[in-house]
Amino acid sequence: MSKIKVMDEVLANKISAGEVVEKTMNVVKELVENSIDANSTEIEIKLIDSGVKEIEVSDNGIGMDPEDAKLAFSRHATSKLKSLDDLFYIESLGFRGEALPSIASVSNVRLKTSNGSVGTLITINGGKDLKEERCDLQVGTCITVSDLFYNTPVRLKYLKNLYTELAYIVEYVNKMALSYPNIKFTLINNDKVLLKTDGSGDLLKVIYEIYGVDITKKMIPIDGENDDYYIHGYISYPEVTKANRNSITTLVNGRVIKNNELNKVIVDCYHTYIHKDRYPVIILNIDVDPILIDINIHPTKMDIKFSKMDTLKSLVEKLITEKLENINLIPEVSVRDSYSVSEVSRQIHKTVEEEPKETTKYEEIKLDFEVKEENIDESIKEELPFEVEKEPRVKKMYPIGVVMKTYIVAENEDGMYLIDQHAAAERINYEKIMKQIKEKPIIIDLLVPIRIELRKDEFILAKERFNLLEEYGFSIDEFGENTIIIRSHPNWIPEEKSEDIIRKLIDIIIDKGKFDFDQFIWRIAATTACRMSVMAGDYISKEEMEWILENIRYCENPFTCPHGRPSIITYTKYELEKLFKRQLD
């Protein structure tokens, strides 16, 4: 007797549900994507208890006739693929035909739909007992999913608490609203509105609804293309960061995706602009011919493969890097009160409502410095630690003094500046060292070699990576058991601090974490720059202040230290006058 049997359809759907539906967010995702594919311009998501008790998604899309409404709950039934060739040119969000039968197998579902000719009401409980009735003719679809996982108690047990489940849903709906600013999204939980967009098509206005006025004021538009990809969206100023990567929203042909390789490129563009454990706010829309991507990798359809990933990474890096290099990134200290916040909020609404197609005009709200061409002081130019190749990114600043032995106070016609003496000096030295690292090093022989004793495991790692340091001008030998000796080093390490810096560099190469060569070079330069720079609390003379202020102007990134901390902040003349009530508007 045969042991192999064809699965019962309800059982097969429950197994499929384990891949498609893991949490309440997955149900919302599948239903919202179906609404978008139905050409909806309004989508409303209503939740009871974060969706655990009930999820209702209603839209004003094209609706279905009675036959399609019943067939939608059959496994692998879809209107989006007709042949094998269609699999290589997918433009819809859904296409697998698994979502509705999978959801229905682990919940109670009520589907109300109409295409304008006939209204259909379908009810199905636990994937069984499908019932069909007639209903009103309001065009669109409304699906209600209640008692999720009521018949799979193990999966119900492993749902997160209600706040966590709700957070997943809010994050997803936010991303969909950013992906489709032309659709009016409404998200309600227990009768409380959590998100409401107007569907005007203005992405900046959606950003405002999600992130609020403070972050929206500090978003920068980007736009560019190559032969394969067109990218548009917004990136944040480096001063706007979040604690995790969830703030990075990448969309491909309107689909929310998660691609670690692409996220790494985006984060690397902010390298040295922000702290290594912080992440920018990014909304990146990528338009591409569907033939160049593969979304049929996982049932959630959030993973994706690009056939020309290198050209995409190059375009993303170029657009973000050029934008960061060509704007003034000095954080401003602003005077905040209820009037100013509401006024800025009013200006944002007025700007995006009156001229929705010209969102770049919103930048007028931001305090935007334009760096004017200035003649370089030739005497200072000779003292610069690196070659001056372009005009300074910061206007000339004049030192007034130092407060708390840490912050240089300076001024110019625009206002007052506070400069962190260590962060600024560290940035200057870092860029000098990075330039010297790329050149053929000048070797300095040590009169007294530096001897460093290590643990056995550390010695093995150090020995394996000797060549990394030797390539940059270090001479390292074994010296007895578990001991190394450094006989020479490149000239960019100051002799008076050579032992301290070299010991720190050895700590870097024996780090047991995943080794990244690019990070290794950055850590060498950043560590050396830190050790050789004036520290907070050190006394500096007026001449040293002038040297720091002049040199920082010509850095490629004068706004942060190599670790991403701000080096300069400013109080504009307007903000100072507002503090002292000279400006009352």
Q: Buried b vs exposed e over 196-226: b needs ≥16 C-beta within 10 Å?
A: ebebeebbbbbbbbbbebebbbbbbebeeee
The Cα 110–Cα 104 span in angstroms is 9
Check residue 164 and give its pLDDT: 84
Check residue 383 and give its pLDDT: 47
**Beta pairing partners, 486:** 450, 476
- Residue 390's pLDDT is 67
- For the residues of 70-93, what is the DSSP string, one character each? HHTTSTT--SS--SGGGGGS--SS
- Which phi and psi angles does 529 have, rounded to 5°? -60, -40
Instruction: Give the pLDDT of residue 327.
Output: 82
Q: What separation in angstroms does the CA of 315 have from each of 140, 266, 285, 402? A: 40, 11, 13, 43
Q: Looking at the domain 9-196, which fold is it? A: Heat Shock Protein 90 (3.30.565)
DSSP line for 13-56: HHHHHHHH-SSHHHHHHHHHHHHHHTT-SEEEEEEEGGGTSEEE
Determine the Cα–Cα distance for residues 317 and 263; give it in Å rounded to an integer. 11
Strands (DSSP E) along 352-478, which ranges?
398-403, 407-412, 415-420, 443-453, 475-478
Determine the pLDDT at residue 277: 78
Residue 471: per-residue pLDDT: 82
Rounded Cα distance between 493 and 498, Å, is: 6
User: What 8-state DSSP symbol labels residue 251?
Assistant: E
Task: Give CA 521 to chain center in angstroms.
Answer: 24
Give the bridge partners for 185, in sequence order.
43
Question: How high is the pLDDT of residue 330?
Answer: 76
Strands 241-242 and 279-280: antiparallel
Q: What residue ranges do the domains of the chain occupy?
A: 9-196, 212-325, 338-368, 373-585
At 322, list the tokens: 């050029």
Return the CATH number of 373-585, one of 3.20.20.70, 3.30.410.10, 2.60.40.420, 3.30.1540.20: 3.30.1540.20
Cα four-point dihedral sign 17, 18, 20, 21: positive
CA distance 202 to 216: 13
- Residue 341 is predicted with a pLDDT of 39
Contact 385, 551 (CB under 8 A): yes
Per-residue confidence (pLDDT) for residue 354, from 0 to 100: 43
Along the 585 residues of the chain, how does pLDDT read in single tens digits? 555 555 555 545 544 444 457 788 989 998 998 899 889 999 999 999 999 899 999 999 999 888 888 888 876 555 444 444 444 444 445 444 577 888 888 889 999 999 888 899 999 987 777 888 888 888 999 999 998 887 777 667 667 788 888 988 998 999 999 989 999 999 999 999 999 999 999 999 999 998 888 889 889 999 999 999 999 999 999 888 888 888 899 988 888 888 888 999 999 999 888 887 789 999 999 998 888 877 655 545 466 778 888 999 999 999 999 999 888 777 776 655 543 434 444 544 444 444 443 333 333 333 233 333 334 344 344 445 555 556 888 999 999 999 999 999 999 999 999 999 999 999 999 999 988 888 877 888 888 898 988 878 788 878 877 887 888 888 988 887 788 899 999 888 888 888 888 888 888 887 755 567 777 788 888 988 998 899 999 999 999 999 999 999 999 999 999 988 999 999 988 888 888 888 766
Total count of residues recorded for the chain: 585
Amino acid identity at 352: V
pLDDT attached to residue 206: 93
User: Hey, what amino acid is at 32?
Assistant: V
What integer pLDDT is reported at residue 379 of this predicted model? Answer: 38
Q: How much is the pLDDT for 142?
A: 95
Distance between CA atoms of residues 99 and 258, nearest Å? 20
Say what the pLDDT of residue 401 is: 93
Neighbours of 523 (CB within 10 A): 18
Task: Scan for tokens 């340091």, then name that residue.
Answer: 469
This prediction's pTM: 0.68
User: Would you tell me which CATH number, out of the four given (3.20.20.70, 3.30.230.10, 3.30.530.20, 3.40.109.10), belongs to the domain 212-325?
Assistant: 3.30.230.10
Phi, psi (deg, nearest 5) at residue 208: -60, -45
What are the angstrom distances between the C-alpha of 264 and each of 53, 140, 322, 572? 38, 40, 17, 35
Residues 130 and 122 sit within 8 Å (Cβ to Cβ): yes
Q: What is the pLDDT of residue 120?
A: 92
